[in-house]
Amino acid sequence: MSTPVQGGAPHRVAFIGIGNMGWPMAARLVGAGFQVVACDVAAERAARFAQEVGGEAAADAAAAVRGADAVITILPTSKHVGEAVAAMRDALAPGALVIEMSSGVPTATRGFAEALAGQGVAMIDAPVSGGVPRAVSGELAIMIGGAEAEVKRAEPLLRAMGTTLTHVGGVGAGQAMKALNNLMGAAGFLIGVEALLIGQRFGLDPAQMVDVLNNSTGMNNSTQKKFKQFVLSRRFDAGFGLELMAKDVSVALEVARDTATPAPFSALCREMWASAVKLLGPGMDHTAMAQFSERLAGEALGGGNRPG
């Protein structure tokens, strides 16, 4: 078991959160030769990861981080991150580096970083974009906030998981950038679905509309990677939760509020995603947001029956 050394390159890595994204990201680290200790709220999932992929499994966060050079957290919300930090704080050795990769609240992450700095533990934030397919292939886009020296120290780990690494500012800046990215994605999805519904009622074919949009100025990530694949196919299984997207849009609005930036369109977008969560219920994929617009219109895209 290694002892963390201030400024040294990480080797033993505690990975907290073996979920849809965490599993393939941790697997990339195992494949790159890092010594990974997996930990998840579902202990059996961490154990299965160690058995199927490699590394070790720990029963709790404190056990996972003992002797770790670096700790990666990728959890649903900053509340969960706060709980993990509290659980592992006494077990972290001075010189360890915590890499917060959740889509969290920037101000909360700054608070965690300040608290950890008092015991000689550095924290950076490095949320990701690209979804499960790019987590599997190691082609994530990673937005990084933190001190230059700590970002450089984390780079070997981050390069095992992503191909586009962008240092955007101090601690919390990565999460602000991620929230704003997802705000734009959420807004683009909504306006795209509405355009498809309008076109369908006019007599246009939604699938053909997507083809036209992808060769025109209306193209966006949803027209390219979501509408045919997950909405018109009625699969609604892109691998990112509706509640998580709604949370990220809310984080973007918090950034707007903290910076005193008027954002009326963003506020409407947040209200629509929050309303969809209430209407459609828990556990839905974010592409099921289309069903919210379909219910408002009273018909499903692609000529299906009236949505329930």
Q: 3-state DSSP call for residue 299?
A: coil
Give Cα separations from 131 to 115, 241, 262, 304, 308 (angstroms): 31, 11, 30, 28, 29
CB of 185 within 8 A of CB of 238?
Answer: no
| Cα(301)–Cα(273) distance, integer angstroms | 19
226 labelled catalytic: no
CA nearest neighbour of 153 among 141, 140, 164, 165: 165
Q: Spot the catalytic one: 79, 178, 226, 247.
A: 178
| Cα(70)–Cα(96) distance, integer angstroms | 6
Task: Please give the structure tokens belonging to residue 178.
Answer: 């991620």
The 10 Å Cβ neighbour count of residue 194 is 14
Q: 3-state DSSP call for residue 123?
A: strand
Residues 6 or more apart whose Cβ sits within 8 Å of residue 24? 132, 135, 136
Residues marked active site are found at: 178
